Amino acid sequence: MEKHHSKYFVLQSIIYCKVLYIIMNKINDLYTIEQEIYRESISDGMMEIFMGILLFFVSLFWGNEEFISFGIIITLFIFPIIQERIRKRFVYPRTGYVEPKSDDSFEFTAFIIFMITIFLVSGLVVFLLPNGYEDTENLYRVIPFTLGMVMFGPAFELSDRSGQDRYLLLGILPTISGLAITVWSVSDVPWSPFTGIQLFAYVWGGLFITLGLIRFGIYIIRNPVNFEEGVDNE
């Protein structure tokens, strides 16, 4: 009888340890789950399309100032509504509704250091351009480079929250191309400094929209709607 009891006790302990092991893994895995949820929330390409449209409006603003109010209304108010309609129609029936936690880790000090760094590096680039600060057009010429560096903000955020370093390219590539346009626009190219800004915004706006549409297409192909279970019909 006692032998039977001790066997039962050993078996129970093993099962209990296994359960704890599974649970411990789950608890330690919360950060991974959070990153996975964030990745899922941006897998439909909508974010890239949004960034592309924003850059397009920067371009339109530089070309025609009356577009500014139109651009702000479209991107900040109308686009999220359109985006939600598209997601309800195409995304939620495929992979389900996903809303990641809002980022509450915003650090004001880090933001200020980031902005000061951008300001100082841009200032250094202006200084290094021919005629430096004497040529006031250099202050406009440097804007593509500055915009490129600003892109590091969302790039860092995306990389950190998704756990994918490739998002850093969204900061690196615009910075390099912004610097190239800045340097190029002081050569013999018959441009006004504003053309450089427009070129940067149009090219990156176009690239982001194209990338977003490709991601959206891939998302649709990879995640077909399950007509029986795609959305619970109650």
The residue ranges that bind another protein (CB under 8 A) are 20, 22-24, 26-27, 29-31, 33-34, 37, 40, 88-89, 92-93, 95-102, 229-234
32 vs 192 by CB, closer to another protein:
32
CB of 81 to another protein, least distance (A): 14
The residues, ordered by sequence, that sit 6+ positions from 185 with a Cβ below 8 Å of its Cβ are 141, 144, 191, 193, 195, 196
1 vs 27 by CB, closer to another protein:
27
59 vs 159 by CB, closer to another protein:
159
Distance of CA 151 to the CA centre of its chain: 9
Contact predicate 232/96, CB 8 Å: no
CB of 96 to another protein, least distance (A): 3
User: How many Cβ atoms sit within 10 Å of the Cβ of residue 210?
Assistant: 14
User: How many Cβ atoms sit within 10 Å of the Cβ of residue 89?
Assistant: 9
SS3 of 173-194? HHHHHHHHHHHHCCCCCCCCHH
Q: Which residue's entry shows tokens 């006790």?
A: 9
CB of 93 to another protein, least distance (A): 7
40 vs 135 by CB, closer to another protein:
40
CB of 19 to another protein, least distance (A): 8
Tokens of 201: 């915004």
